[in-house]
Amino acid sequence: MRRRTLLAGPLALAGGAAATAAPRHEPGTLRVALRVPETGFDPLAIGDLGSSRIASCIFEAPLTYDYLARSVRLIPQTAAALPDISADATTFTFRIRPGIFFADDPAFGGKPRELVAQDYVYSVKRYYDPGNNSENLYVFANAGLIGLDELRARALKERRAFEYDREVEGIRALDRYTFRVRLARPDPRFHLQFARQDVLGALAREVVERYGADIAAHPVGTGPFRLAAWRRASRVELERNPRYRGRTIAAPPVLPDDPAGRAAVERLAGARLPRAERIVLDVIEEAQPRWLAFLEGAHDLLEVPSEYGALAVPDGRLAPHLARRGIRLHRTPQADLAMTYFNMRDPMVGGYAPAQVALRRAVALAYDSAAELRLVRHGHGLPAQSVVAPFTSGYDGSYRSEMSQHDPARAAALLDLFGYLDRDGDGWRERPDGTPLVLRLAGTGDQLQRRLNELWRKHLAAVGVRIEFETSTWGELLKRSRTGSLMMWGFSWVTQTPDGGFFLGIGYGPNDNESNDAHFALPAFDRLFERQKVLPDGPQRDALMREAKNLLVAYMPYKARFHTVMNELAQPWVRGFWRHPFMGDVWCYVGTDGEASS
């Protein structure tokens, strides 16, 4: 499933009372600010990072990752062991541990409700129900779970209710605690999806049927926390789930080489989950109040807003004024991608004819991503050479492409060559047919977005291209993106698995209206995507992924801008925070107390 988080927030300065020593926080409560409003907690409808992280604390998938292990190591969660995988990578058998229970809910009639294999079968089938219209269906559809596409097609054709009770080979319960997944084609990494708490966390059918269209406000899972209160777009409160069985953090078999990592392992090994009693999440979209709230001690963790990077983390190091207060810096490269897409259906920027391709490539060459990192992000990112992110298969640190190039002379030459000329002498280019050339970039209305808009305006004006900006809320832009009514928009993708094919999926034609926001449809790319998907990791797959990356550079449906280096601050009383590259439930591992720590 996609992980989209808006890269925006306003510019402001810190000072005044906020610079005083932060008060000690209430032990047992973890307080965090969300920079984008949550959208709800039904896994099949989640489209933002904050909601994903919240859901990951409520729901549990069969698998998870070792929180302390570096490199990444998959471990069982509700499963008794890692799945049995057939030699041809088409059959995956999971066995669920008995004695795991859902949080209490009226839907269960006052009785404890045990997690069983059928809950995972039902949860996967929900994605195929046309009535749910899930944007995350592609997670399963690309793998070809046998019989489920046909079940969905029958519901659509006959306009009938989805047949949840009809058994299919794609996913079925073999007994109370065992379920099996069968794929139409090999997918050696498909089981990684079963480590995503927000996507494959189990739901109970009786809960979904009780709450119906309001299920997003009634998440009931088996995880460490349950939803205690929710004021939409304002505050989310989680409390410890009394039914949660608890879990002990085990030391990884190999300790990290770095001193900080080794110290984290030594401190956390043997700790019980969850560490906190409550998690309180405040939605604060503006960067200045988020920053000041952290300095005043109202929040325990903070993703440093880009605008404050130079103030908080000058030259990649914690600022002395923060270090003196015992605040700690966690600086972590992310398996993410910040990009801007071109709507391939748009008559201005879309299409596959040479002139249309040339326009997109010229725009990409005109925009200076390095300037964005330097002037707006304060250096906290890596220039992107392709859509594939660090730490994932297919990422190649030596790969270079137009994605990262800033070459206005070449951009102007491309525009000239394909007939984008200034015919009326007003300083702005027209299209080859003489009609006005005016691009439209969508975004939110905050100050950081306005700074980004000015960069776009400056860089495109340098090659004679006009650009205008349309402003709306994140939720509205998300809706309009799905309907294909935006010409250009930018956001970031974050993956929760080490499979780089996730990022290539944003260009896969069948993912149109799901992860493929650009509506890119190129058969040659689709065949490469399908071929690499069935191969195990290795040189042969890497070569196919490189070809696919080259096609995305050549046609430029996406301008890959950068990969984030996340700077996060932790108050002195925070315990156990250590960002994992693929886990969404990190908050479950974090505790607070009244004592400062080193």
pTM: 0.81
What lies within 8 Å, CB to CB, of 447 at 6+ separation is 9, 10, 11, 12, 287, 307
**The two three-digit tokens of residue 493, written as one number:** 């993708």
pLDDT at 551: 98
- The secondary structure of 90-137 as a DSSP string is -EEEEEBPTT-BPPP-GGGTTS--B--HHHHHHHHHHHH-GGG--TTT
Domain assignment present for residue 594? The answer is: no
Residue 23 pLDDT exceeds 80: no
Q: What is the domain count for the chain?
A: 2
pLDDT digits (tens, 9 = 90+) for 305-345: 888 988 999 988 999 999 999 999 998 888 999 999 999 99
Do 8 and 143 belong together in one domain? yes
Choose the most confident range, by mean pLDDT, from 15-19, 377-381, 509-513. Answer: 509-513
In angstroms, the first-to-last Cα distance of the chain is 37
Domain assignment present for residue 236? The answer is: yes
Residue 260 pLDDT exceeds 80: no
Domain assignment present for residue 537? The answer is: yes
- Neighbouring C-beta atoms of residue 436, cutoff 10 Å: 12
Do 263 and 350 belong together in one domain? no
Do 350 and 222 belong together in one domain? no
Do 442 and 542 belong together in one domain? yes
CATH for 378: 3.10.105.10
Residue 388 pLDDT exceeds 70: yes
pLDDT at 7: 37
Domain assignment present for residue 37? The answer is: yes
Q: How many residues does the chain have?
A: 598
Helix axes 523-533, 539-555, angle to 10 degrees: 160
The more confidently predicted of residues 355 and 375 is: 355
Residue 362 pLDDT exceeds 60: yes
pLDDT at 478: 87
Looking at every residue in the chain, the average pLDDT score rounds to 91
pLDDT band at 293 (very low <50, low <70, confident <90, very high): very high
pLDDT band at 113 (very low <50, low <70, confident <90, very high): very high
Mean pLDDT of 480-491: 93
Mean pLDDT of 224-235: 97
- Neighbouring C-beta atoms of residue 557, cutoff 10 Å: 27
Domain assignment present for residue 528? The answer is: yes
Residue 92 pLDDT exceeds 50: yes
pLDDT > 70: percent of the chain: 95
Do 269 and 344 belong together in one domain? no
Angstrom distance (rounded) from CA 88 to CA 186? 6
pLDDT at 25: 66
Contact present, 183 and 146 (Cβ < 8 Å): yes
Do 515 and 400 belong together in one domain? yes
Last residue of a domain, one of 228, 258, 273: 273
Do 363 and 470 belong together in one domain? yes
Angstrom distance (rounded) from CA 349 to CA 575? 49
pLDDT digits (tens, 9 = 90+) for 167-226: 999 999 999 999 999 999 999 999 999 999 999 999 999 999 999 999 999 999 999 999
Residue 467 pLDDT exceeds 60: yes
Domain assignment present for residue 571? The answer is: no
Contact present, 198 and 1 (Cβ < 8 Å): yes
CATH for 254: 3.40.190.10
Domain assignment present for residue 429? The answer is: yes
Angstrom distance (rounded) from CA 116 to CA 62? 11
Residue 37 pLDDT exceeds 60: yes
**The two three-digit tokens of residue 598, written as one number:** 């080193």
Mean pLDDT of 536-553: 97
Domain that holds residue 163: 4-273
Choose the most confident range, by mean pLDDT, from 102-116, 371-385, 467-481. Answer: 102-116
Do 263 and 341 belong together in one domain? no
Contact present, 59 and 201 (Cβ < 8 Å): yes
Do 377 and 474 belong together in one domain? yes
Domain assignment present for residue 265? The answer is: yes
Last residue of a domain, one of 250, 273, 296: 273
Do 462 and 550 belong together in one domain? yes
- The secondary structure of 310-351 as a DSSP string is HHHSGGGS--HHHHTTT-EEEEEE-SEEEEEEE-TTSTTT--
Do 351 and 208 belong together in one domain? no
pLDDT at 541: 97
Q: Which of 204-208, 514-518, 567-571 has the lowest mean pLDDT?
A: 514-518
Do 370 and 266 belong together in one domain? no
- Residue 507: φ, ψ to 5°: -110, 5
**Beta pairing partners, 399:** none
